[in-house]
Each structure stands twice: as C-alpha cells, then as structure tokens.
C-alpha cells in the first residue's frame, strides 16, 4: 500500500494516488496527503488506477476527505476505479457524493 500525492503548480488541484490495498493501514498516509495542503485545493482527484481493493474503512477515509474539503461544496473525483471498486461504490451510492470515473 502506497499513497502519493501531487499538487498542481497553481495549487488549485490535488491528485492523491493509492497503490495496492486501500484499507485501514492507509489511514495516516492518506490523511497526511491532504491535511497539510493549504489553501484547500478547488479540485481533488483520487487516482485508484493502481488500487486493488477497497473496504469500508476506505469509504470512511473518503468521507473524511470530503468533509475536510468543504463537504457538500467539495469537488472530488474518484478516477481509474476497477470493476470491483466500482461495485462497492455503487452499492454505497457514493456517486451522490463523488464524481466517479
């Protein structure tokens, strides 16, 4: 499990990439990726093209990210989701909260 993040030059967008399993062990790293970024970027993307697995604690972490980024006014996309991950997101109806690609 590896979490990396890249902020755009103008600071307006942040991309967080997750390689491997997105589960409870990613907690600290994931939080660290967005907490210190100030001001909060207008666009945030979570790149899951390398993510192999997602569980409910990961869903919780995404909710925390959304809360941190303005809640209902946040603009967060979940990119590169494979079939299994998409399934989980669909069951949880997370497309109501995040843009899913």
Residues that bind another protein (CB under 8 A): 55-57, 59-61, 63-64, 67, 72, 90-94, 96-97
**Residue with smaller CB distance to another protein, 38 or 96:** 96
- Nearest approach in angstroms of CB 66 to another protein is 9
- Nearest approach in angstroms of CB 5 to another protein is 19
**Residue with smaller CB distance to another protein, 49 or 57:** 57
Q: In whole angstroms, what is the distance from residue 95 CA to residue 10 CA?
A: 28
Is the Cβ–Cβ distance between 14 and 42 less than 8 Å?
Answer: no
**Residue with smaller CB distance to another protein, 10 or 72:** 72
- Tell which residue, 59, 68, 56, has the closest CA to residue 31: 68
Is the Cβ–Cβ distance between 16 and 35 less than 8 Å?
Answer: no
């Amino acid at each position: 499990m590896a979490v990396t993040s890249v902020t755009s030059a103008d600071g307006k967008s942040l991309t967080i990439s997750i390689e491997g399993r997105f589960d409870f062990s990613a907690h600290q790293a994931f939080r660290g990726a967005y907490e210190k970024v100030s001001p909060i970027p207008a666009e945030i993307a979570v790149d899951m093209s390398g993510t192999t697995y997602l569980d409910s604690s990961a869903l919780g972490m995404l909710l925390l990210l959304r809360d941190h980024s303005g809640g209902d006014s946040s603009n967060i996309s979940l990119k590169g989701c494979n079939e299994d991950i998409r399934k989980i997101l669909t069951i949880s109806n997370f497309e109501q909260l995040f843009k899913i690609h």
